[in-house]
Structure 1
Amino acid sequence: MRDNRRVTSSSTDRFDDPSYLSDLPGGWSVGTPDEADAAELAALLRRHEKHGRGWAGSGEDDVLVEVSATGSMVRENIVLRDGDGVIRGWASAHDRAAGRMLLIVIVDHRLDDSLADRVAEVLFEWADEAATRVGSERGLDVQQIDSGAFADDDRQHRWLSRAGYTQVRRWWQMSRPVTPEEADLDPEPDAGVVIRPVKREGGGMPDEDDLRTVHDILETSFADHFNSHEETFDEFVFRLREDPGHRWDHWWIAELVDEGKEPEPAGTLVGAVREGEDGQPDGSYVEYLGVLQSARGRGVAKALLGTIIADAASRGRDRVGLEVDADSPTGADALYESMGWKTSYVTQSWHRDVPVAD
């Protein structure tokens, strides 16, 4: 894994200059958030989600991934506070993989448009500087910033466009109901495909060889997908373990067991828990589903999906969610729809390439 990076005051010094913030109301300031701000940031994030898609789903655990001491190894954050010290804007930059920096920008929807526009401008300018630092540490000439927006959030679209971002992709966020009877579902087809969980050692930790198999399958199967960037094994495991919904017993490997041959890894599914809102049951979520090209057409993906459906039902959960590339030529959405998934809402990816100065 790369050397750990921590946010320093130099990340915000220029933006903390009173002359730079002179067109904001008196008393506004810039700072770096930490765990103590998690509740306030979660409230800001939930208002953003409710405005963008009609309902909120994030909580303090999701925010802690971004602002905790552990998260700061690969992330930088900035917040804008008003004269009363209330957080009105937040940006988080995540050095996800070589050449790809994920960016979250959230502005309080209670601000009027002119003030919100200026807050967004400051946050996106900070993102360019964060991209320059990240790209420089990676030894890159150009650093991509990958930010997102809900498809119906016109205000976010306006800010992204003004900051030089281009909308490059749409993503269908899909969900499928799960019934208790599906706990007895047999997901394995009669085609020499066997699904097994990632092996666990005595202390409950996963077998490293199996984790490397999962990583290798995903890197290989996604190599020709949109905006694929190579992620090291250490980066991959560290990032997935940060997810509040992470569970080792939600990782599966599909193997081909053709007669007379040793079992051959062919696909993998990494799942997670999604907590229910307002006392509702939890759900499961497909973080990753990858099948090697040599094994496609054998029912591997369908068997893996059937496995997480049956697992969710056995745990008393009521749904399984996933994300699919709406613009992909592979037609993966047809499989999901045939198995009962329906689109709940749509998100977008917006990209900007930032030159990295020497």
Structure 2
Amino acid sequence: MPGAWNSSDAARETPDEPLVVRAQAPDVLPPLPETGGLTWRALTPADAEDLTTFIAHIEEVDNPPYRTSPEEVADYFDDEGHDYSGIGGFDADGILHAFAFARLRRADAEIKRVFISGGLEPSLRDQGIGSAVLDWQIARARQILARADGADDPVARGRLLLHVDDDQTSLVRLLTTRGFTEARHYSQMRRDLSRPIPEVAVEWPLTVEPWTPALDDAVRRAHNAAFHDLWGAQPLSPQDWQAERAHHVPEWSFVALDRSSDRAQVAGYLMSGRYEQDWHALGWTEGYTEILGVLPAWRGRHVASGLLAHAMRAYAADGMQYAGLDVDADDPSGAIGLFEHLGYERVRGSVVYTLEV
């Protein structure tokens, strides 16, 4: 999604001490403030509805170019795929005014990532609450890393990370004072679908075909292979693959197949999502390209362009105004140039900040 490693992450030297030692997990977590009359307790799935309402309130005030769906909130409490810890700050009437999560993806292998997220009632900002909560999250993340599977292996690495939108300057100041650094830059791009969509031909034995459930696991395995050497990539299990596609739209998704033999091989794939909850905040409707990949053996053969053209036509046929996607601006493959050639334009950006352990 970044002090930092290069795009393969393999260039970093192997640490001398196991992760359980490097994590420097505290025995006691730092205290949380009572400012604003808040009392703190662990969040559970029973709090999902209140958390959804509170996040909607924050987003209505801050007006980011997205909105968080109930399905995305429910994912915070996924204890099968994640080792998570969440806390909430409540007033005397039991109303939620702050929350914070630290979530480790259990399937992570060599790089153990703890994702940090949270929110604070706008009227309670600039009172030191956010700073104290971030300290709690960092300490809790270190505890989670220390108990992760494989934490006694010197090869295992730890990474705390979170995405920061372009305008979140106060959060950036908090992060940098605690040792976080910019690791990866992302550009959100859109393509006006009222403009002519180019014809992109892929040559036989390559074909671009609709995604089907029967192809899904082959696409997952192709995705793991295509992204193996990219920054921060981790293999996705079948369960993780499904969990990351709550908004998947089958009719907007396509697979490039090599049919040179009687057993077709996945050469590339494009998976799309429909995020209707974002459209009002964005100011337009869009079909969103969630994942686009081409395997090394088929790069340079217009596979990505062909997939994008098919997706754009599908979005337009469904009445969408734009095609949208996020791209790693630091990716040396030149993906941004490809998108710009097809008419995509940058509309905003975000940065991944990390603390490496």
Q: CA deviation at 1:344?
A: 1.6
The correspondence for 1:107, drawn from 108, 117, 120, is 120
Deviations 1:5-48 (A, max 9, x none): xxxxxxxx966xxx934664555212214254435445436635
Alignment partner of 1:222 is 2:227: yes
The amino acid across from 2:308 in the alignment is L
> Separation in 2 of the partners of 1:22 and 1:265?
53
> Separation in 2 of the partners of 1:349 and 1:194?
36
Contact 1:124-1:163 within 8 A present in 2 as well = no
- In the alignment, what sits opposite 2:80? 73
Rate the CA distance shift 1:44–1:104 in 2: closer, same or farther, 3 A: same
Equivalent pairs counted in the alignment come to 320
Contact 1:256-1:263 within 8 A present in 2 as well = yes
Deviations 1:100-146 (A, max 9, x none): 3332233333323223322332233323323333x247765433222
Aligned to 2:249, the other structure's residue is in SS state: strand
Residue pairs, 1:120-135, within 5 angstroms: 120-133=134-147, 135=148
The correspondence for 1:232, drawn from 217, 234, 237, is 237
The amino acid across from 1:286 in the alignment is T
Deviations 1:285-344 (A, max 9, x none): 111111111111110000010111011111112222111111121111001011111112
The correspondence for 1:277, drawn from 279, 298, 303, is 279
Deviations 1:144-196 (A, max 9, x none): 222211122111112222333222111111111223975xx754345653111
> Separation in 2 of the partners of 1:82 and 1:158?
26
- In the alignment, what sits opposite 1:178? 193
Rate the CA distance shift 1:46–1:191 in 2: closer, same or farther, 3 A: farther
What is the TM-score when the length of structure 2 is the normalising length? 0.77
- In the alignment, what sits opposite 1:253? 255
Alignment partner of 1:93 is 2:102: yes
Aligned to 1:246, the other structure's residue is in SS state: coil
The amino acid across from 1:129 in the alignment is Q
The correspondence for 1:47, drawn from 58, 75, 97, is 58
Deviations 1:198-234 (A, max 9, x none): 33xxxxxx11xx2222122211111221122223333
> Separation in 1 of the partners of 2:28 and 2:35?
15
> Separation in 1 of the partners of 2:33 and 2:244?
41
Rate the CA distance shift 1:131–1:320 in 2: closer, same or farther, 3 A: farther
Give the share of equivalent positions with the same residue, in percent: 20
Contact 1:255-1:266 within 8 A present in 2 as well = yes
**Pairwise CA RMSD:** 3.1
> Separation in 1 of the partners of 2:239 and 2:182?
30
The amino acid across from 1:103 in the alignment is I
- In the alignment, what sits opposite 2:42? 31
The correspondence for 1:83, drawn from 64, 82, 91, is 91
Residue pairs, 1:300-339, within 5 angstroms: 300-339=303-342
Residue pairs, 1:148-163, within 5 angstroms: 148-163=163-178
Rate the CA distance shift 1:122–1:263 in 2: closer, same or farther, 3 A: closer
Deviations 1:47-96 (A, max 9, x none): 35864x744422333212223xxx23223241331433333332233433
- In the alignment, what sits opposite 2:14? none
Aligned to 1:305, the other structure's residue is in SS state: helix
> Separation in 2 of the partners of 1:93 and 1:80?
12
- In the alignment, what sits opposite 2:22? none
